[in-house]
Amino acid sequence: PSCRRYVAGGRCKSTARLEGKVVIVTGANTGIGKETARDLAQRGKVIIACRDIAKGEAAASEIRAETGNQQVIVKKLDLADTKSIREFAEKFLAEEKELHILINNAGVMLCPYSKTADGFEMHLGVNHLGHFLLTFLLLERLKQSAPARVVNVSSLAHHGGRIRFHDLHGEKSYNRGLAYCHSKLANVLFTRELARRLQGKGTKVTANALHPGSVSSELVRHSFVMTWLWKIFSFFLKTPCEGAQTSIYCAVAEELDSVTGQYFSDCQPAYVSPRGRDDETAKKLWSVSCELLGIQWD
């Protein structure tokens, strides 16, 4: 029905091949990430980076069987632990000489208040800081392999977010719905500042962010109410495959070869909140993130 087609939204029509190319998708053991990996595995080599190796292997063997591509590899990556992120990057750099597409897809949503191994609030720590560090550690390899792309999965929820520098880790006040929104705004601002820096240096690496749509996925598992609402309204939600389309589009579409610093939804440019276009906040978030992670990223 046309209503269902409307819900499904835009589709990535690109048939671009990725022979000899290497893609990393974080959190690709379920949901949108898994469907993104499934599509890209029909085009080239995919590394599934996830916390749960058993789930990752199950997803990978299903994708290998379906695509006939044996180059679907699972590596352990826990974005809630900088030690794990550094170990993942170190192993990857030792084993792979190239990296063409990095899809920062993994995320947590609506977690009860908790902290990462490094003491960061969970949403900010996993959704923003974890991917910030991962991108930092892999950036040289992306530059060497250019043209290359960084794709950050954000959300429409960024409209409800703000960067609360006075209380980044929610110790003074915490609302799990807002914490998710804040982290998704951080994704948009990170993308903007990363794109600006990469362009300024004339690298052939682009960075774009996207909203996948409201997708029926495991993300809402921490909330009984949301899980219940998701079930009732499932007809109006995208399937993970439909939700993966914009990630795939940002990763492979030829027309985006030199497009950077943009935000997409339904495979087309979308509106970014005023807070998501604030360059001063983007720069400040960048330096605060570097401080928190103990890195120097110029």
DSSP collapsed to 3 states, 118-166: CCCEHHHHHHHHHHHHHHHHHHHHHHHCCCEEEEEECCHHHHHCCCCHH
Q: Is 60 helix (H, G, I), strand (E, B) or coil?
A: helix
Which are the contacts of 159, defined by CB distance < 8 A and separation ≥ 6?
A: 181, 273, 276
Which CATH number applies to 1-293?
A: 3.40.50.720
Domain boundaries, the chain: 1-293
Is there a catalytic annotation at residue 180? Answer: yes
Between strands 268-269 and 263-265, the pairing is antiparallel
Tell me the helix, strand and coil percentages in the chain, rounded to 5. 50, 15, 35
Options 6, 113, 174, 180, the catalytic residue:
180
Cα 184 to Cα 162: distance, rounded to the nearest angstrom = 9
Which candidate, 179, 186, 178, 205, places its Cα nearest to that of 130?
186
Distance CA 11, CA 33 (A): 16
* pLDDT score, position 4: 47
Q: What is the pLDDT of residue 243?
A: 87
For each successive 10 residues of the chain (298 residues), what is the average pLDDT?
A: 60 94 97 96 98 98 98 98 98 98 95 96 98 98 98 94 97 94 97 97 96 67 59 66 94 97 96 97 98 96
Tell me the whole-structure pTM to 2 decimals. 0.93
What gap in Å lies between CA 124 and CA 127, rounded to an integer?
A: 5
pLDDT score, position 256: 97
